[in-house]
Structure 1
Amino acid sequence: MTIQQEKAEKFAELHARDQAFIIPNPWDVGTSRILAHVGFEALATTGAGFAFSVGRRDGATSKEEMLAYVRSIAQATDLPVSADLEEGFADDPDEVGEFIVEAAGTGIVGGSIEDRGYGREKVALGDRYSVDVAVARIQAAVDAARSLPFKFLLTARCDNYLMGHPDLDDTIRRLQAYQEAGADCLYAPGLTTKDEIRAVVSAVDRPVNVVIGLSGEPISLSELEEIGVRRVSLGSTLSRTALGSFITAARELKEHGTFGFTKDAIAYADITAMFTG
């Protein structure tokens, strides 16, 4: 059995158990190793966090840049990694399937495909694919995943809420269609209440991922687990938290000439210890 197969089995087992798990999103090798050191069981990449790290807006990285980033995270630790594969860098279902195979070659054991465009081809940035096209794209991704010599866990993502279309009924219909197309995990970022999350979980029979850090009522891991959520991600939240602290520090320096932010800096010896060995 290969290392990738072992990681894939471990990742599938996390989704099969009753206990929910957190899958945090590092944006580079250093943050990957910190999260592994803290003790998380799996990692997920963040397209937005990576874009911010290279000075771009979300969705403005190339396929080649994204694959290089994903590879670096997959190789940074011994943990299974699922990747934010955006819309698959293509509109055409067959090309999405080809991208899944290409992405799997980086060492990841799972990935998500979205039902919105990024303006790279025919679908404008933020526009949603029609249900028929979105389902065909998920089906192609699933078929490609099943062709791999290990269990690649395919997450289908409905971006209605993120794109300003908070239609719960349509979101559920789309997720149910993606389930029928064979998706292993379902994800609708931007759900804002426990009732919305509960409605999604009760409407499907696949593990549901919920992202924390967007707008909405605060919900703990135990509460999400009670609702039936199996996976909790952070998206770009950790990246934005770090950048928020950096900007606050920079503004204190520029506007006040003081150094109060230094009290929150991790000790040099502590961060060095995390990267030793």
Structure 2
Amino acid sequence: MTGAERFRALHHDRAPGDPLVLPGPWDAASARVFAAAGFPALATPSAGVAASLGYEDGATPADEMFAAVARIVRAVDVPVSADVEDGYGLAPKELVERLLEAGAVGCNLEDSTDGVLKDPREHAEWLAEVRAAAGDRLFVNARVDTFVRGVDDPEAAVERAARYVAAGADCVYPIFAPAGVLPLLRAGIPGPLNVHARPGEGPSPAELGGLGATRVTFGPGLQRHAERAVREIAARLAE
């Protein structure tokens, strides 16, 4: 079984309340920690990787992001999916080739650029091209940015998600969807549903699973927790 097949299988036949929990490593060292803790797969957060490389979120050059993903992949024996933002303007074939060269088994792809939502039809067509280029070699997680861009109507997220699934996405990710609308999203969206969680805040991963989440990710939350811990240590040392 290939890494992508292993990763895809982790998303299916999950019991309610038992979502796939994917920590977000920002470098090789954090990836080793999460893998050693027993997590079966990992999913890099673009914002966390950007911070580790000294960039603001969304400002990481594509070459540096792919190189960082490759270092994370080499550090662990579990499948790694990569957040590659909106694809960096790469043609679908080149994007797929870069991901496979880095060793990723999947990817996050956003449906907004520079804070503006893309046309859902055009984005679905682009996702279909990514799927055609990847075949079954990559797990495609299509991020739905309606909630993060100020569109609070759950039906808008459902409509976009349905287009993306029809285009070949393996999973959809309505980032920052409120917990209260998750049952509605679950009822309206076919296939796996990715939900964002905040470490130590709000519903637990198990509770999110009970509301309909297939998998739970944390964005840059774990990297930011680690950064705060280092800041506290630094402050004590400076006293």
The answer to whether the Cα contact below 8 Å between 1:209 and 1:230 also exists between their aligned partners in 2 is yes
* Equivalent residue letter for 1:88: G
Matched, 1:184 2:183: no
Distance across 1 between alignment mates of 2:14 and 2:167: 24
User: Unpaired segments of 5 or more residues in structure 2?
Assistant: none
Work out which of the two has the higher radius of gyration on C-alpha atoms and give 1 or 2. 1
Matched, 1:109 2:116: no
2:206 aligns with 222
Offset, 1:203: 0.6
The answer to whether the Cα contact below 8 Å between 1:145 and 1:154 also exists between their aligned partners in 2 is no
Stretch moving more, 234-243 or 162-171: 162-171
For residue 131 of structure 2, the aligned residue among 139, 142, 159 is 142
Offset, 1:165: 2.9
The answer to whether the Cα contact below 8 Å between 1:81 and 1:108 also exists between their aligned partners in 2 is yes
Matches within 5 A, 1:138-217: 138-146=127-135, 150-193=136-179, 195-213=180-198
Distance across 2 between alignment mates of 1:196 and 1:177: 19
* Equivalent residue letter for 2:210: E
Offset, 1:214: 8.3
Matched, 1:130 2:112: no
Offset, 1:235: 1.1
Q: State TM-score, norm by structure 2.
A: 0.92
How many residue pairs get matched?
236
* Equivalent residue letter for 1:24: P
Matches within 5 A, 1:25-174: 25-90=24-89, 95-117=91-113, 125-146=114-135, 150-174=136-160
Matched, 1:233 2:221: no
The answer to whether the Cα contact below 8 Å between 2:197 and 2:205 also exists between their aligned partners in 1 is no
Aligned-residue identity in percent: 33
Q: CA RMSD in A?
A: 1.9
The answer to whether the Cα contact below 8 Å between 1:88 and 1:100 also exists between their aligned partners in 2 is no
Q: Which structure would you say has the larger RCO, counting Cα contacts within 8 Å and 6 or more residues apart?
A: 2
* Equivalent residue letter for 2:124: V
Indicate the SS of the match to 1:26. Answer: coil
* Equivalent residue letter for 1:168: P
1:272 aligns with none
The answer to whether the Cα contact below 8 Å between 2:175 and 2:195 also exists between their aligned partners in 1 is yes
The answer to whether the Cα contact below 8 Å between 2:197 and 2:216 also exists between their aligned partners in 1 is yes
CA-to-partner distance for each residue in 1:74-99, whole Å, 9 max, x for gaps? Answer: 11111011110110111x7xx13421
Query: Structure 1 residues 77 and 197 mapped into 2: Cα distance closer, same or farther (>3 Å)?
Result: same
1:263 aligns with none
Q: State TM-score, norm by structure 1.
A: 0.80
Distance across 2 between alignment mates of 1:201 and 1:97: 31
2:8 aligns with 12
